Amino acid sequence: MLPSLPLYIEGEVVKGFGRGSKELGCPTANYSLEVVKRMPKNVIPGVYYGWAQVDSGAVYKMVANVGWCPFYQNKEMSVETHLMHEFDSDFYGSNLKIVLVGYLRDELNFDSQGSLIAQINEDIQNADQKLDLPEAKEIKNQYFYKKAD
């Protein structure tokens, strides 16, 4: 059973494993283990889509993996968020707010890095389409996001 969505998560961006940008061509913003452990216990591992904001900047579409990343055999649960926007630099230490709006799929293991990359690209396309729906756009404009001055 999926947790009640939307699910709101906030915390500082920390350095991850360094594989998102370098190995997968998909940079991610990562939360500390403390933030992950504060999440509701009924969160099902998988790939979610939603909205994200760094500090008080613009709100962007995002896709996030919540879980153990079976391909990499993580030992701890993580939340790895890919903001669907190109940033000029890293934003470690920034405050990241995300809202998980919907569930795309279960976590999967892959037989190759190429098949993982293909699935990530498909997830991004699916998230992009779902976030254009009116019910998803409503969540983007909620009070959770602090507006830039």
Distance CA 76, CA 65 (A): 13
The catalytic position among 12, 34, 80, 86 is 80
Closest CA to 5 of 67, 50, 46: 50
User: How many residues in the chain?
Assistant: 149
Q: Which residues contact 89 (CB under 8 A, 6 or more apart)?
A: none
Burial class for 51, CB neighbours closer than 10 Å (0-12, 13-18, 19+): buried
User: Which residues is 52 bridged to in the sheet?
Assistant: 60, 98
Q: Establish whether 80 is a catalytic residue.
A: yes
Phi, psi of 96 (to 5 degrees): -115, 125
Active site residues: 80
